[in-house]
């Protein structure tokens, strides 16, 4: 055998091993995510709140409790997350939310949302309006 074929066989074996490892890792991560989703659905409750402000900011700057910052993986601590400041009853709280919910949340309006801990998962209704994403501007060529 020539050295070129040996190198190609070794590379092929490594690529196949990497694919198998990624498949196994992906299956485990998928099961873990499904279990976490079930826990969030069990703890979910519908809460009426007045949205004060919404921003995308870093986890440390968001003003979330220290336990939340400590429990997030280190590689995610510097990414920007959607943060919503809302008045729930007499208290003003800082909450995180999903990206699709963040785009739809109206500012300075009262909404009923499904909240699981400090995480907004869904909007049920908006007082005095409808739940619609904001209209995007059309590009120059789409006009």
Mapping DSSP to helix (H, G, I), strand (E, B) and coil, where does residue 51 land?
strand
Give the integer Cα–Cα distance in Å for 98 and 119: 8
pLDDT higher at 59 or 128: 59
Residue 76 confidence class, pLDDT cut points 50, 70, 90: confident
Give the integer Cα–Cα distance in Å for 87 and 100: 21
Residue 133 confidence class, pLDDT cut points 50, 70, 90: low
Residue 140 confidence class, pLDDT cut points 50, 70, 90: confident
Give the integer Cα–Cα distance in Å for 88 and 84: 12
Mean pLDDT value across the chain: 90
Give the pTM.
Answer: 0.72
pLDDT tens per residue, range 38-52: 998 899 999 999 999
What pLDDT sits at residue 65?
A: 87
pLDDT tens per residue, range 79-131: 999 999 999 999 999 999 999 999 999 989 999 999 998 999 999 888 766 66
Beta-strand ranges (E) seen in 42-118 are 45-58, 80-88, 91-97, 110-116
Q: Which of 5-9, 17-21, 119-123, 136-140 has the lowest mean pLDDT?
A: 136-140
- Using the predicted structure, report yes or no on whether residue 139 has a pLDDT greater than 90: no
């Amino acid at each position: 055998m020539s050295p070129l074929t040996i190198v190609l066989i070794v590379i092929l074996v490594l690529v196949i091993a990497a694919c198998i490892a990624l498949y196994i890792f992906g299956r485990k991560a998928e099961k873990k995510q499904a279990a976490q989703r079930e826990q969030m659905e069990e703890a979910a409750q519908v809460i009426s709140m007045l949205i004060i402000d919404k921003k995308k900011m870093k986890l440390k700057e968001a003003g979330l409790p220290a336990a939340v910052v400590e429990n997030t993986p280190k590689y995610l601590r510097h990414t920007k997350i959607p943060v919503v400041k809302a008045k729930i009853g007499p208290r003003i709280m800082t909450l995180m939310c999903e990206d699709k919910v963040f785009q739809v949340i109206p500012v300075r309006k009262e909404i009923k949302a499904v909240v699981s801990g400090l995480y907004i998962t869904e909007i049920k209704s908006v007082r005095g309006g409808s739940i619609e994403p904001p209209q995007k501007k059309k590009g120059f060529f789409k006009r």
